[in-house]
Structures are given as structure tokens and as C-alpha cells.
């Protein structure tokens, strides 16, 4: 059955005649039809969010405890509808169903955590400025937030923003990826059931060129919170600069796993494997580079190749699949071009490197796990974000060299360090220029820990208390107590 969606604005569906079709990346079936909106429809969404923020229902002024209740009810409903949401996520994004379920569960966890933060938005009193004055430093919601998210983790990237923006008291207009808008729209319906006032959550679907650009220039939007590629992120930041719109950017990455000879090598192989194949490698913090000590490189790569052979490709609903299809044809062709270029530039293909042509995968965008070794810093594969299941292996001989190699990229989202030596682990982590460092694991995290990038991987943080504060402005209120002496006494009439 094809799912057909309009836009969700001010608590109801708003009919929009033009449609964008989403075909399955696994077998080409038509899955969903989304509204292909323009700036006029966006304007309706912004007006609804503006009204919900500025005067109706007083969402920003509800006690945090009440906003928390709404959020908690939403998390409960998401869990109750997990199977439906997971199926939509799995089909539209092409990810194996068990990973889609994990994503839904993680989204619920983000919401519950943000709900807890709504209780305790911090503030300060400045009480040491004399007997006759008191300073209050308060955190106020930024206003209407435009949320723009990509297709790779549609629900998690959404809730790393939405849950915290709502907890802070902001209202929202969401533009999901045109390829994976289904779950954002389903969530909006659940939010209504959870009791969110109309206009607090609006979803306007469409292309980045139409809806995205209209959002970044819309005077009714106070902040843009964007997740996506670094190229589009720069464009978004430039447009926001025109009106000094606040902007949060979660962008691309080129993470490295550094494996020292004293590591638990079986655990490291496991972490590196997961790090490069999860979500078909379409992950901002994908461990796309392996920096392995020369003394153990041969044996390590052999083990990795051996385990990569056992990765199971599958259609999205296949419960046992480890990897599904890439998101669409042209993205797959881009990944295959990266693979061809790596071979041309002299990297050695250790496994994979091709599109699967056998049934049942012949109608989809399935690319095998691919490992290149002998990768050097002058090769594009060492520098460029591939966003596919492709690992670049480079060797090193000294700790300093490993850190230099890891930092030899314009990105700075994540890195991994594998060693049993605590000094080495800490020294190395400190010198890595990335927002996250995983030690003796990869991709494990918790909602309490901020996530974001150094360098061209972004600006601002999501999750943790930092993630909440992103959606607030700081206000200083200086209160004079008692009688105020005139500042210009000579102007006072005698």
C-alpha cells in the first residue's frame, strides 16, 4: 500500500496538490507520496508556529513540568507505535528492520531525557552586586525553530533537535528529507494525540531548494537547526547570516579508528566492522578510516576481511540482515565512483567494491562491504566523505603519527581509539580534534553526552544539557532594589 501524505500544519492536514514520489531503494516499488511544498505552504507552517509561540496556548510559558508531561506522553506513544514507525523508517531509508527498531527506541529515549531537562532549565542569580541590586540570568526559548534533517537517521536526527527544542519552550517547523518524510509526519499525528497544542509541531515536506531555502530566509523563523552535508550546511549558514538567524549545524565526518598493538584485537575488529558497515556506511560518524599499527596491520586486515565476508545483505524487512540498500541510485553511483577512484589512485582492494547484481538484490542499490588498504593521505578516499560501506586502511608506526593522520582531515566529528594502555588512550583522545572520541568501543553513546563537530563537521551541540541550551537565549535582568539615586542629579528640578 502506498502511503500518501499532505503537510501537517497547525494540528491538521493541509492539502497540497503537488507530490514527490519515494520509491524503494531495495526494489523500486512506490512506497510513499509526500507534498511537494513551496514557500507559500511553508509560510502557513511558520505562521502556525509563530502563533503557538507568541500568543496562543503560551507553550513557552508552560511550566517545564507540563512540557515534560507532553514529551513523556509522546515517547510512550512512539513506543506503542514502534512497529509501524520502524517499518516506515526501514522501507524509506532502506535500513534493516532491526536497526530501524533500535532507532525508534533511541528516539523515545531522547524524548524522555529531554523531558527530564524541561524540569530543570538552568538559571543564575547574581547576588553579590550590593545590597540594593539583584541580577537574574535566565534562559529563554529562542522562538520558532526551523528543523532540517537528512535521510540517513530520519528519526534520531529529528529528535536530537525536536525533543530539546520543545523542552526549551520553542515551537517548530520541520522539513524532513524528501526521501524519508514518513516518520516525521507520523510523529506529528502522535504529538497531537499526546496533547501538544496545535502549531507547536508543524511538518512541511518538499525539496531543500524550495522549502529549505525558504526556511533559511523566512523572517518568522528565529533559528535553523540543520543536519546534513557540510556543503549544504555552509550554504544554510551563509543564508542565516543575512538576518543573524541563530544556526546549529551537524555536518559530515571522516572518522578514524586508531588501533594500537596492545588493544583487544578481537574487540577492535568488531568495532571497526560495525563502524564502517552500520547503516550501509551512511552515517556521519562512520568509522570510515582505519589507522592500524604496522606491526599488526596484516593480521588485523585479514580478520576484518574475513568477518566482512560474513556480513549479511538483506531486504529492509529481513530480520537477519546486517546491511540494506544505499539510499538511491545517484548516491550509489557516487559511492561506486569513490571506489573506482581509490583503485585508480593506487589503493589495494581487499574485499568488495561492487554493486550486487544477483536476485533479490538486482533491483536495488546494494553495494558490498568494501575495504581498501595501502591508502595514503594524498588519496581522495583518505579525505572525502564517501557515505557508503567503504573502509580506508592506513598504517602508522608511532602514536604521534596516528594522531596526526586522524586529524589530517577538514572534518572533526568522531574518532575511535583502541588500546589497553590508559595513558595512551587519554593522551591520544585529548589530541584528537573531534567532538566525540570512543575508547575501546565504537558508536556507543548516551543521551546525556553532547554530540557535535569540530572544524567543518559543524557548530553547536545536540544532546546533553548543551543540546537543550542550544535552543535558549541568555537574558540578564538587573533589578534595582530600594530607592534609586538620580544618575544626573543636576537635571532634577530644585
The total number of residues shown for the chain amounts to 494
Query: Long-range contacts of range 229-235, CB-CB < 8 Å, 24 or more positions apart?
Result: 229/150, 229/385, 230/385, 230/410, 230/411, 230/456, 230/457, 232/208, 233/458
Q: Does 336 bind ligand NDP (CB under 6 A)?
A: no
Set 170, 284, 365, 428: catalytic member: 284
Q: Does 456 bind ligand NDP (CB under 6 A)?
A: no
Q: Which of 381, 367, 389, 353 is nearest to 280 (CA)?
A: 389
DSSP secondary structure letter of residue 312: P
In the bound state with ligand NDP, the residue whose beta carbon lies nearer, of 16 and 177, is 177
Q: Does 147 bind ligand NDP (CB under 6 A)?
A: no
**Minimal distance, residue 418 CB to ligand NDP, in Å:** 23
Q: Does 229 bind ligand NDP (CB under 6 A)?
A: yes
Alpha-carbon gap, residue 230 to 209, rounded angstroms? 16
Active site (annotated) includes residue 250: yes
Of 284, 350, 379, 391, which lies in the binding site for ligand NDP, with binding defined by CB under 6 A? 284
Alpha-carbon gap, residue 60 to 108, rounded angstroms? 22
- Edge-first strand order for the sheet with 133-141 is 124-126, 133-141, 472-480
Element housing 191 (H / E)? helix 182-193
In the bound state with ligand NDP, the residue whose beta carbon lies nearer, of 227 and 370, is 227
Contact assessment for residue 366 and residue 313, using Cβ atoms and an 8 Å cutoff: yes
Q: Does 221 bind ligand NDP (CB under 6 A)?
A: no
Which residues, other chains included, contact 127 with Cβ-Cβ below 8 Å and sequence gap of 6+?
A: 134, 135
Q: Does 281 bind ligand NDP (CB under 6 A)?
A: no
Of 152, 308, 419, 434, which lies in the binding site for ligand NDP, with binding defined by CB under 6 A? 152
Q: Does 108 bind ligand NDP (CB under 6 A)?
A: no
Of 118, 187, 232, 273, which lies in the binding site for ligand NDP, with binding defined by CB under 6 A? 232
In the bound state with ligand NDP, the residue whose beta carbon lies nearer, of 148 and 428, is 148
Element housing 390 (H / E)? strand 390-396
Q: Does 412 bind ligand NDP (CB under 6 A)?
A: no
Q: Does 154 bind ligand NDP (CB under 6 A)?
A: no
Find cell 526521501 and name the residue.
179
Of 141, 143, 169, 252, which lies in the binding site for ligand NDP, with binding defined by CB under 6 A? 252
Alpha-carbon gap, residue 491 to 494, rounded angstroms? 9
Give the contact letters, 361-380, x = binds to ligand NDP (CB under 6 A), - = no.
Answer: --------------------
In the bound state with ligand NDP, the residue whose beta carbon lies nearer, of 353 and 453, is 453
In the bound state with ligand NDP, the residue whose beta carbon lies nearer, of 216 and 280, is 216
Element housing 370 (H / E)? strand 370-373
In the bound state with ligand NDP, the residue whose beta carbon lies nearer, of 33 and 235, is 235
Number of amino acids touching ligand NDP (CB under 6 A): 33
Residues 168-187 that bind ligand NDP (CB under 6 A): 175, 177-178
**CA dihedral defined by 213, 223, 233, 97, rounded to 10 degrees?**
-90
Report helix, strand or coil for 336: helix
Q: Does 485 bind ligand NDP (CB under 6 A)?
A: no
Set 250, 283, 385, 456: catalytic member: 250
Alpha-carbon gap, residue 144 to 418, rounded angstroms? 42
| Helices vs strands, H then E, count in the chain | 15, 21
Of 141, 253, 353, 414, which lies in the binding site for ligand NDP, with binding defined by CB under 6 A? 253
**196: buried, middle or exposed (CB in 10 Å: 19+, 13-18, 0-12)?**
buried
**Minimal distance, residue 338 CB to ligand NDP, in Å:** 13
**Minimal distance, residue 327 CB to ligand NDP, in Å:** 8
**Minimal distance, residue 252 CB to ligand NDP, in Å:** 4
Find cell 493541509 and name the residue.
14
In the bound state with ligand NDP, the residue whose beta carbon lies nearer, of 169 and 248, is 248
Alpha-carbon gap, residue 135 to 477, rounded angstroms? 6
Element housing 391 (H / E)? strand 390-396
Name the closest residue to ligand NDP (Cβ).
208
Q: Where does this chain touch ligand NDP (CB under 6 A) — which range of 21-29, 33-41, 45-53, 210-218?
A: 210-218
**Minimal distance, residue 34 CB to ligand NDP, in Å:** 9
Element housing 113 (H / E)? helix 97-118
Active site (annotated) includes residue 284: yes
Of 113, 382, 387, 471, which lies in the binding site for ligand NDP, with binding defined by CB under 6 A? 387
In the bound state with ligand NDP, the residue whose beta carbon lies nearer, of 60 and 453, is 453
Q: Does 207 bind ligand NDP (CB under 6 A)?
A: yes
In the bound state with ligand NDP, the residue whose beta carbon lies nearer, of 96 and 228, is 228
Q: Where does this chain touch ligand NDP (CB under 6 A) — which range of 72-80, 191-199, 249-257, 264-272?
A: 249-257
C-alpha distances (whole Å) from 436 to each of 119, 178, 212, 413, 439 are 27, 29, 28, 6, 10
Site residues for ligand NDP per CB under 6 A:
148-153, 157, 175, 177-178, 207-209, 212-213, 216, 227-229, 232, 235-236, 250-253, 284, 385, 387, 413, 453, 457-458
Residues assigned a catalytic role: 250, 284
Amino acid at each position: 500500500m502506498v502511503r500518501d501524505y499532505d503537510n501537517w500544519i497547525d494540528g491538521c492536514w493541509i492539502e497540497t496538490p503537488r507530490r514527490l514520489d519515494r520509491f524503494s531503494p531495495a526494489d523500486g516499488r512506490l512506497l510513499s507520496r509526500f507534498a511537494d511544498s513551496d514557500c507559500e505552504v511553508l509560510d502557513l507552517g511558520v505562521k502556525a508556529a509563530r502563533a503557538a509561540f507568541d500568543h496562543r496556548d503560551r507553550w513557552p510559558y508552560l511550566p517545564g513540568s507540563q512540557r515534560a508531561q507532553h514529551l513523556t506522553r509522546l515517547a510512550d506513544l512512539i513506543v506503542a507505535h514502534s512497529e509501524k514507525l520502524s517499518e516506515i523508517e526501514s522501507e524509506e531509508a532502506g535500513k534493516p528492520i532491526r536497526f530501524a527498531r533500535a532507532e525508534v527506541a533511541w528516539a523515545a529515549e531522547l524524548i524522555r531525557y529531554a523531558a527530564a531537562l524541561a524540569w530543570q532549565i538552568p538559571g543564575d542569580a547574581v547576588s553579590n552586586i550590593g545590597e540594593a541590586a539583584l541580577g537574574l540570568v535566565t534562559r529563554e526559548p529562542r522562538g520558532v525553530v526551523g528543523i532540517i534533517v537528512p535521510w540517513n537517521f530520519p528519526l534520531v536526527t529529528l529528535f536530537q533537535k525536536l525533543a530539546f527544542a520543545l523542552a526549551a519552550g520553542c515551537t517548530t517547523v520541520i522539513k524532513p528529507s524528501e526521501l524519508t518524510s514518513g516518520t516525521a509526519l507520523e510523529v506529528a499525528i502522535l504529538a497531537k494525540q499526546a496533547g501538544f497544542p496545535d502549531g507547536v509541531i508543524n511538518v512541511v515536506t518538499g525539496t531543500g531548494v524550495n522549502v529549505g531555502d525558504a526556511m533559511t530566509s523566512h523572517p518568522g523563523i528565529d533559528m535553523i537547526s540543520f543536519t546534513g552535508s557540510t556543503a549544504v550546511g555552509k550554504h544554510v549558514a551563509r543564508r542565516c547570516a543575512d538576518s543573524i538567524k541563530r544556526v546549529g549545524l551537524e555536518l559530515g565526518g571522516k572518522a578514524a579508528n586508531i588501533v594500537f598493538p596492545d588493544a583487544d584485537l578481537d574487540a577492535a575488529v568488531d568495532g571497526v566492522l560495525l563502524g564502517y558497515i552500520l547503516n550501509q556506511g551512511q552515517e556521519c560518524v562512520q568509522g570510515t578510516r582505519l589507522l592500524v599499527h604496522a606491526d599488526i596491520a596484516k593480521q588485523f586486515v585479514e580478520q576484518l576481511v574475513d568477518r566482512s565476508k560474513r556480513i549479511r545483505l538483506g531486504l529492509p524487512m529481513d530480520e537477519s540482515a546486517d546491511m540494506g540498500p544505499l539510499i538511491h541510485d545517484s548516491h550509489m553511483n557516487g559511492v561506486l565512483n569513490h571506489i573506482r577512484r581509490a583503485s585508480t589512485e593506487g589503493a589495494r582492494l581487499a574485499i568488495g567494491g561492487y554493486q550486487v547484481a544477483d536476485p533479490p538484490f538486482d533491483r536495488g542499490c546494494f553495494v558490498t562491504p568494501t575495504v581498501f588498504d595501502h591508502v595514503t593521505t594524498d588519496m581522495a578516499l583518505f579525505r572525502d566523505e564517501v557515505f557508503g560501506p567503504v573502509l580506508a586502511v592506513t598504517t602508522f608506526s608511532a602514536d604521534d603519527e596516528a594522531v596526526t593522520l586522524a586529524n589530517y582531515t577538514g572534518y572533526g566529528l568522531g574518532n575511535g581509539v583502541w588500546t589497553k594502555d590508559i595513558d595512551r588512550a587519554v593522551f591520544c583522545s585529548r589530541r584528537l580534534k573531534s567532538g566525540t572520541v570512543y575508547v575501546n568501543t565504537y558508536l556507543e553513546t548516551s543521551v546525556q553526552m553532547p554530540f557535535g563537530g569540530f572544524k567543518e563537521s559543524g557548530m553547536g551541540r545536540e544532546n546533553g544539557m548543551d543540546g537543550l541550551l542550544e535552543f535558549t537565549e541568555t537574558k540578564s535582568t538587573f533589578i534595582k532594589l530600594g530607592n534609586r539615586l538620580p544618575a544626573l542629579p543636576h537635571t532634577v528640578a530644585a
